Amino acid sequence: MTPPRNSTAARDVAYALHPYTDHKAHLEKGPVVISRGKGVRVWDDQGKEYIESVAGLWCAALGFDNERLVQAAANQMRRLPFYHGFTSKSHEPMVDLSEMLIERAPVPMSKVFFANSGSEANDSVIKMLWYMHNAIGKPQKKKIIGRLKGYHGITLAAASVTGLPNNHKLFDLPLPGFFHVSAPHHYHGAKSGESEEDFATRLAQELEDLILREGPETVAAFFAEPVMGAGGVIVPPATYYEKVQAVLKRHDVLFVADEVICGFWRTGNYWGSQTMGIEPDIITCAKALSSSYLPISAVMVNERVFQGIAEGSSSIGTWGHGFTYSGHPVPAAVAIETLKIYDETDIGAHVRRIGPHLQRSLRERFADHPLVGEVRGVGMVAAVELVADRKTRANFEPGRKIGPRLMKLGEDNGVILRGLPGDSIAFSPPLVITEDEVDEMLDRFGRALDELAVQLRRESLA
């Protein structure tokens, strides 16, 4: 149906260049215009209601109508709508939020730096690492190791740590000095008959081989999402991080935990690092930090990293890095309120109650579905991976666009789904979702999946 000429949809097609969008398809089909939200649901401009199975982009943790966050923003805007942190200026929201994050950190952390997005936080980490190593007289220790399927954002350095093909070759990336090791995904990555333990040992060895090949004196840091998100919701084998951290310690390579998705209870603990037994030197977070009501991200560094950065003022020149909006008081006030709500409502206990229900229901209802290869996840983050052949675990040809087709069928059935590379469908609903809402979300997903199965059988693809 062609939208009326002056509709939001028509003007979108006329004027908007979208993030992560197939523009050719968009020109033909137009947008889904979301116009309001309540709880775990959003409504489009035609009045159709959807359950948001990924909380927007894994981020609106408190759902779509939290009045306390609205008030926190309005109050702060009236008191001090803007101030910055350059040249030793400060303000209360920036200080309060820094203190709250340090108090909640999974390991002792020293200082907090603010940015506006996950990408900016990770880019800032890379610049901190480069500056710090220049400052302490180790200018050769600059290389960065990420993992295939890892996602750390799309600015130039963050995209270079990201390990997804579409973020690299299409954009002349990665930059020099960035390396990637295998994803800890046993389902696809293990050799025939290889146990999870042996797989983890092999991956830690791969990391050590890379560090030794490059020279440990040239490698600054290893980046990891505790549980990989956008690359497919990949939960590593139990001993993986223990083995990886032993390698990093041996060669004095810092661990950067990208908690942009995992932070703030998503995996069942405050931090994904706690769920996975990681003791990071640096942590980045964003998204649920403010329940995404306003953009804000943070980098926490330990004392050693802070001292390295501080050293630069006398050894090489003042730290010339920071955003106009680093620690902006309005998103900082919203983040403070968000963290208070997590504490006061004991959202952690809620996730520990509902998360297992989500995980169990996904497995009971979909693990044996003819289109499903693997169901995985922990806490309140999960994925259902579709395969063309359950025996060989082969995915559908990317050209078939199975993920996007399921997303469309999901929308028809009242659930907004997110397809990841390799036809995995992510689940990362608002943390406030109830058990009944989980069931309703999975009913709608189940109907979409069954409709896809019927279509594919008709096309002789399943």
Which residues of this protein are in contact with ligand PMP, per CB under 6 A?
57, 117-119, 122, 151-153, 225, 229-230, 258, 260-261, 286
Task: Tell me the pairing of strands 424-427 and 41-44.
Answer: unpaired
**Cα-atom radius of gyration of the chain, to the nearest Å?**
22
Shortest separation between residue 230's beta carbon and ligand PMP, angstroms: 5
Beta carbon nearer to ligand PMP, 381 or 449: 381
Shortest separation between residue 400's beta carbon and ligand PMP, angstroms: 25
Of all residues in this chain, which one has the CB nearest to ligand PMP in the complex?
A: 118
Cβ-contact 413, 226 below 8 angstroms: no
Shortest separation between residue 161's beta carbon and ligand PMP, angstroms: 9
Beta carbon nearer to ligand PMP, 141 or 376: 376
Beta carbon nearer to ligand PMP, 134 or 269: 269
Beta carbon nearer to ligand PMP, 208 or 225: 225
Cβ-contact 414, 51 below 8 angstroms: yes
Beta carbon nearer to ligand PMP, 225 or 423: 225
Shortest separation between residue 120's beta carbon and ligand PMP, angstroms: 7
**Helix and strand counts by DSSP (H, E) for the chain:** 16, 15
Beta carbon nearer to ligand PMP, 381 or 462: 381
Beta carbon nearer to ligand PMP, 313 or 324: 324
Strand order in the sheet with 372-378: 372-378, 381-386, 424-427, 418-420
Cβ-contact 118, 260 below 8 angstroms: yes
Shortest separation between residue 204's beta carbon and ligand PMP, angstroms: 21
What single letter denotes the amino acid at residue 185? Answer: H
How far apart, in whole angstroms, are the C-alpha atoms of residue 172 and residue 188? 27
The one-character DSSP state at 55 is: I
Shortest separation between residue 388's beta carbon and ligand PMP, angstroms: 27
Chain centre to alpha carbon of residue 223: 13
Length of the chain: 462
How far apart, in whole angstroms, are the C-alpha atoms of residue 277 and residue 268? 13
Give the angle subtended at the CA of 391 by the CAs of 457 and 453, to the nearest 5°. Answer: 20
Shortest separation between residue 301's beta carbon and ligand PMP, angstroms: 17
Beta carbon nearer to ligand PMP, 164 or 442: 164
Shortest separation between residue 234's beta carbon and ligand PMP, angstroms: 12
Which residue, among 273, 295, 275, has the nearest Cα to 117 in the 3D structure?
A: 295
Q: Which two tokens stand for residue 459?
A: 């096309």
N-terminal to C-terminal alpha carbon distance within the chain: 30
Q: Which helix (H) or strand (E) holds 94?
A: helix 92-104
Beta carbon nearer to ligand PMP, 122 or 395: 122
Task: Tell me the pairing of strands 372-378 and 34-38.
Answer: unpaired
Cβ-contact 31, 15 below 8 angstroms: no
Shortest separation between residue 153's beta carbon and ligand PMP, angstroms: 3
Between the alpha carbon of residue 333 and those of residues 95, 337, 415, the distances in Å are 10, 6, 31
Residue 101 has a CB neighbour count (10 Å cut-off) of 23
Cβ-contact 412, 448 below 8 angstroms: yes
Shortest separation between residue 150's beta carbon and ligand PMP, angstroms: 8
What single letter denotes the amino acid at residue 251? Answer: H
Beta carbon nearer to ligand PMP, 143 or 418: 418
What single letter denotes the amino acid at residue 374? Answer: E
